[in-house]
């Protein structure tokens, strides 16, 4: 079969890598892809947001399965567009993807169906949002309502910081259309974990747990990013936590979406805070996380094509999904200036040497220029590795990292260390 993956980041490289392992796949395409993906798939110069272009390509090439990586085309309704033409595509409908596209929608859904989350208020008026600060207390979290590439979440320690964050979003329009509304939440304390699940809208099959590292610097210091690394499993996500999360969060959310006439089929990603009062949802995503995917998919034993087709056909209950016992770690290597800017065009060396260590090199912001692979974005590479336990997986991932060089590169040296604090 012919498979098209939509997107250009590390998550998409991981998807192409895993899907390519299926004996059912004869030809792999990626739109637009990157320099690493180009080594295992035919890259097509169509942007992920160009829904008409993607549809025309899928029709022309008679694509058997399209897999959507990023959130933007999902919220734009790419799945609906393909379904109307009778094309198989993996991901939630536009209405279902709103669970990620609007934080207000997600919070209101959780409130209505008693899904555990932080106390919140949603506002279009800056003065009303500022007045709510007294009610929610400090520290607090101020979020742009819409999609802001993982950067529209501001943790505020003081009233001044919170008021400035509200003004940034609602008055100064720092996040564009994503900031037409603001969500103000109570600050939850605990450890964060990511729980991804396969669902066809009825059956929910959780994946293995993972933990992301959002801040740019070691020790969770500095600015929020799209994610600087991840590991799986997360020891803090215990069987007792799992026994709460599956029925009260994952299954409850899928049932709620069905009740709201927004049946959710695809990947449901729950970002959770494990508080002293139990697990609470920080946010939902409507797709694979990045970089969690680069730590989770190397542990998947089952054929990903089979899983996706079962979800599309509403037959997930017939699937037996298996995982490898090994742990996995992914370390993100970012360009100079990230997350505020990205230092592009720097030649990357040592990629082959990194692969020789046994690490899996996933490209994110890369392109090929004059025979060289160069940086082309904020997050440049994700170096993933397996190990018999997390300590070995960490060591194996950093062996790969040490082989790679590019000017002004930056990465965290403590990815996975949280596992030993659990």
For residues 93 and 39, is the Cβ–Cβ distance under 8 A? no
**Residue at 99 is within a domain:** no
Tokens read off for 137:
């207390």
Q: Assess whether 331 and 308 both reside in one domain.
A: no
Last residue of a domain, one of 91, 111, 136: 91
**Residue at 260 is within a domain:** yes
Q: Assess whether 308 and 331 both reside in one domain.
A: no
Give every CB contact of residue 87 below 8 A, 6+ residues apart in sequence. 55, 58, 59, 63, 66
CATH number of 285's domain: 3.30.470.20
Chain-centre distance of CA 180, in angstroms? 23
Q: Assess whether 195 and 303 both reside in one domain.
A: yes
Report the distance separating Cα 324 and Cα 303, nearest Å: 13
**Residue at 59 is within a domain:** yes
**Residue at 110 is within a domain:** no
CATH number of 331's domain: 3.90.600.10
In degrees to the nearest 10, what's the CA dihedral of 129, 134, 135, 140? 70
Rg (CA), the chain: 20
**Residue at 111 is within a domain:** no
**Residue at 391 is within a domain:** yes
Last residue of a domain, one of 67, 91, 115: 91
* pLDDT of amino acid 224: 83
Last residue of a domain, one of 258, 284, 318: 318
CATH number of 130's domain: 3.30.1490.20
Q: Assess whether 173 and 80 both reside in one domain.
A: no
Residue from 269, 285, 270, 275 nearest 187 by CA: 275
- Count of all residues that appear for the chain in the document: 422
Q: Assess whether 275 and 302 both reside in one domain.
A: yes
Tokens read off for 141:
């979290």
Q: Identify any residues that bridge with 117 across adjacent strands, giving them in sequence order.
A: 281
**Residue at 105 is within a domain:** no
Q: Identify any residues that bridge with 29 across adjacent strands, giving them in sequence order.
A: 4, 42
Tell me if the pTM is above 0.85: yes
Q: Assess whether 209 and 236 both reside in one domain.
A: yes
Report the distance separating Cα 27 and Cα 4, nearest Å: 9
Q: Assess whether 195 and 310 both reside in one domain.
A: yes
* pLDDT of amino acid 181: 86
**Rounded alpha-carbon distances, angstroms, from residue 198 to 14, 30, 151, 211, 334:** 17, 22, 26, 18, 29
Q: Assess whether 303 and 331 both reside in one domain.
A: no
Q: Assess whether 199 and 139 both reside in one domain.
A: no
Q: Assess whether 167 and 67 both reside in one domain.
A: no
412 burial type by CB count under 10 A (0-12 exposed, 13-18 middle, 19+ buried): buried
Domain of residue 214 covers: 191-318
Q: Assess whether 175 and 214 both reside in one domain.
A: no
Q: Assess whether 221 and 176 both reside in one domain.
A: no
**Residue at 206 is within a domain:** yes
pLDDT of the chain, 422 residues: tens digit per residue:
999 999 999 999 999 999 999 999 999 999 999 999 999 999 999 999 999 999 999 999 999 999 999 999 999 999 999 999 999 999 999 999 999 999 999 999 999 999 999 999 999 888 888 889 888 889 999 988 888 666 678 888 999 989 898 888 888 777 777 677 889 999 999 999 999 999 999 999 999 999 999 999 999 999 888 899 999 999 999 999 999 999 999 999 999 999 999 999 999 999 999 999 999 999 999 999 999 999 999 999 999 999 999 999 999 999 999 999 999 999 999 999 999 999 899 999 999 999 999 999 999 999 999 999 999 999 999 999 999 999 999 999 999 999 999 999 999 999 999 999 75
Residue from 307, 310, 263, 314 nearest 288 by CA: 307
**Rounded alpha-carbon distances, angstroms, from residue 366 to 24, 47, 217, 271, 351:** 28, 15, 22, 28, 12
Chain-centre distance of CA 386, in angstroms? 20
């Amino acid at each position: 079969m012919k498979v098209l993956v939509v997107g250009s980041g590390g998550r998409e490289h991981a998807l192409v890598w895993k899907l390519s392992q299926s004996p059912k796949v004869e030809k792999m395409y990626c739109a637009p892809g990157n320099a690493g993906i180009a080594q295992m798939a035919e890259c097509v110069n169509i942007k992920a947001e160009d829904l008409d272009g993607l549809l025309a390509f899928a029709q022309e090439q008679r694509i058997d399965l399209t897999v959507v990586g990023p959130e933007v085309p999902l919220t734009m309704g790419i799945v609906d567009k393909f379904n109307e033409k009778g094309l198989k595509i993996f991901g939630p409908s536009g209405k279902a993807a709103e669970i990620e596209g609007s934080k207000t929608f997600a919070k209101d859904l959780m409130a209505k169906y008693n899904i555990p989350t932080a106390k919140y208020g949603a506002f279009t008026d800056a003065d009303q949002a500022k007045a709510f600060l007294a009610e929610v207390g400090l520290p607090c979290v101020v979020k742009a309502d819409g999609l802001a590439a993982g950067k529209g979440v501001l943790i505020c320690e003081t009233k001044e910081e919170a008021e400035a964050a509200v003004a940034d979003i609602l008055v100064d329009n720092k996040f564009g259309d994503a900031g037409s509304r603001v969500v103000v939440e109570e600050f939850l304390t605990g450890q964060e974990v990511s729980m991804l699940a396969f669902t066809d809208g009825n059956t929910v099959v959780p994946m293995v747990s993972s933990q992301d590292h959002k801040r740019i610097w070691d020790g969770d210091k500095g600015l929020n990013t799209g994610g600087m690394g991840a590991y799986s499993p997360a020891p803090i996500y215990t069987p007792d936590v799992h026994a709460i999360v599956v029925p009260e969060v994952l299954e409850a959310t899928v049932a709620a979406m069905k009740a709201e006439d927004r049946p959710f089929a695809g990947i449901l990603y729950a970002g959770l805070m494990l508080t002293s009062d139990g697990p609470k949802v920080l946010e939902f995503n409507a797709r694979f996380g990045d970089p969690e995917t680069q730590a989770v998919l190397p542990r998947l034993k089952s054929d990903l094509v089979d899983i996706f087709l079962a979800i599309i056909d509403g037959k997930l209950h017939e699937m037996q999904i298996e995982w490898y016992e090994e742990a996995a770690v992914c370390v993100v290597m970012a360009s100079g200036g990230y997350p505020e800017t990205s230092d592009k065009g720097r030649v990357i060396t040592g990629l082959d040497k990194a692969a020789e260590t046994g690490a899996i090199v996933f490209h994110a912001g890369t392109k090929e220029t004059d025979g060289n692979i160069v940086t082309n974005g904020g997050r440049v590479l994700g170096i993933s590795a397996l190990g018999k336990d997390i300590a070995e997986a960490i060591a194996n991932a950093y062996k790969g990292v040490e082989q790679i060089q590019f000017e002004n590169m930056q990465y965290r040296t403590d990815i996975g260390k949280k596992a030993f604090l659990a």
